[in-house]
Amino acid sequence: MSDKPSVLFVCVHNAGRSQMAAAWLSHLAGDRVEVRSAGSAPADQVNPAAVEAMREAGIDISTEIPKVLTADAVKESDVCVTMGCGDTCPVFPGKRYLDWALDDPAGRGVAAVRPIRDEIRKRVEDLIAEIAPEPTA
């Protein structure tokens, strides 16, 4: 077992919101947090508008592949953040569950995805401050 907190981001298709959140967490927290993402009904590929919006922020998610949500992924995570998948996420005692109400970027252009990307970044920054703050000297 790792002593690092682990976070699982879940959305229906694992193609937009959860991919952006996982990328932000990896980018902003580095190796202080273990990051996973999954979907209850994964898409074939990551949303191209999400890829472009993240590229504009300097983060490349073009090689990510949507993954199916498993009970093991939830069991192995300390925090499970759902984004529109509701009760399809299994619940286990001792885990922390957050539900982030965010617009779904599916079918939207990059201009509509930018505000979603930026809101996810703010929420990820708040989560990092809570579970894995920068070490103080």
Show which residues are catalytic: 11, 85, 89
- Give me 113's structure tokens: 């995805």
What lies within 8 Å, CB to CB, of 137 at 6+ separation is: none
What lies within 8 Å, CB to CB, of 116 at 6+ separation is: 16, 17, 20, 53, 102, 103, 105
Query: How many angstroms separate the CA atoms of 23 and 33, rounded?
Result: 12
